[in-house]
Amino acid sequence: MTPRQRALLEEWLPGAEVVADLSWGLAGTTVLHVRRGEESYVVKAGGDSDHHIARELRAHREWLRPWTEIDRAPVLVHADDEAKLLVTRFLPGELVEGHPSEGEPWAYREAGHLLAVFHAQLAVEDATYEARANEKTLAWLSKPHRIDAHTEARLRDGVTSWPTPPATLVPTHGDWQPRNWLVHEGVVSVIDFGRADLRPAWTDFSRLAARQFLADRALEEAFLEGYGDDPRDPDAWRRERIREAVATAVWAHQVGDEAFEEQGHRMIADALTD
């Protein structure tokens, strides 16, 4: 944390004690569980290159009310946009990832319902989303990666030939998967909004489709039951799968996460095969 961030935190929560460092170490964001008196909080502090705090703050200010009203997301307490610092109430629970509930349909049914409520609060038409998304994929392919030349050529040819129809955008979490869900006393809640943005609803299905849905069809069925329908148009969904796969493989290579990079390469192969 920077001196400015430390000073603000002391101003907001004087004498607060660090309970645990929850930082990931890859994203350049410090995440701390702190306690002051009987109250617990989560502190998030972004570094110089951080762009997640701004997204998180927008989500807290504009979109999280459907969840905070029912205690399914943390409530924002303090924030300073310029300092890239925020404080929320601590939300009790264990990560669903690695917990027995990760393989239980009931958790996905709840997660599907939570996501449907989140998506339903706003919808805007965007004539340029698909074109921008294609440009981002081509930009990822221009960065250092370990995608073989033949596959890269196939990807580039495909992306440049895709149509760019108008898209309906809704508030999306951007990283909707068990590592960002908490379970506490049989209830699922949501954390981590650093990738929140307006996107098509089906983009929030991508992370689950690459892992949990692939491993157990019952989890996908439960999720869709909770969500209420399936917003994935086949053509748009294939484009999304390829975009997500490329971003995963290239980003993971950049940060040295070999396991995640391998998953990205598998995602590319699967998307190109279908």
Give the Cα separation of 87 and 244 in Å (integer).
Answer: 30
Query: Are 73 and 115 in the same domain?
Result: no
Cβ proximity of 159 and 137 under 8 Å: yes
Query: Are 111 and 171 in the same domain?
Result: yes
Query: Are 61 and 116 in the same domain?
Result: no
Query: Are 15 and 136 in the same domain?
Result: no
Instruction: Say whether pLDDT at 25 is over 80.
Output: no
Give mean pLDDT, residues 171-192. 97
pLDDT at 48: 85
Query: Are 13 and 107 in the same domain?
Result: no
The phi, psi pair for 21, rounded to 5°, reads: -95, 115
Cβ proximity of 87 and 41 under 8 Å: yes
The pTM score is 0.93
Instruction: Say whether pLDDT at 50 is over 90.
Output: no
Dig out the tokens for 100 from the structure.
């027995």
Q: Quick one: DSSP state of residue 179? A: G
SS3 content of the chain, % helix, strand, coil (to 5): 50, 20, 30
Query: Are 118 and 213 in the same domain?
Result: yes
Read off the pLDDT of residues 136-150 as tens digits, 9 standing for 90 and up.
999 999 999 999 999
Query: Are 252 and 167 in the same domain?
Result: yes
Give mean pLDDT, residues 188-213. 96
CB atoms within 10 A of CB 15: 8
Query: Are 128 and 248 in the same domain?
Result: yes
pLDDT band at 193 (very low <50, low <70, confident <90, very high): very high
Query: Are 133 and 267 in the same domain?
Result: yes
pLDDT at 24: 79
Instruction: Give me the number of domains the chain comprises.
Output: 2
Indicate the residue among 55, 89, 123 that finishes a domain.
89
Query: Are 107 and 227 in the same domain?
Result: yes
pLDDT band at 247 (very low <50, low <70, confident <90, very high): very high
Query: Are 18 and 119 in the same domain?
Result: no
Dig out the tokens for 102 from the structure.
């990760």
Q: What is the CATH number of the domain that holds 126?
A: 3.90.1200.10
Instruction: Say whether pLDDT at 49 is over 90.
Output: no
Indicate the residue among 67, 89, 111 that finishes a domain.
89
Q: What is the CATH number of the domain that holds 82?
A: 3.30.200.20
Indicate the residue among 49, 73, 89 that finishes a domain.
89
Half-sphere exposure of 12 (CA within 13 A, CB side): 22
Query: Are 137 and 186 in the same domain?
Result: yes
Cβ proximity of 173 and 204 under 8 Å: yes
pLDDT band at 27 (very low <50, low <70, confident <90, very high): low
Q: Whole domain around residue 10: which residue ranges?
A: 3-89
- Between residues 24 and 63, the one the model is more confident about: 63
Give mean pLDDT, residues 205-231. 96
Instruction: Say whether pLDDT at 26 is over 70.
Output: no
Closest by CA position to 136, among listed 187, 212, 203: 203
- Between residues 198 and 273, the one the model is more confident about: 198
Read off the pLDDT of residues 71-125 as tens digits, 9 standing for 90 and up.
999 999 999 999 999 999 999 999 999 999 999 999 999 999 999 999 999 999 9
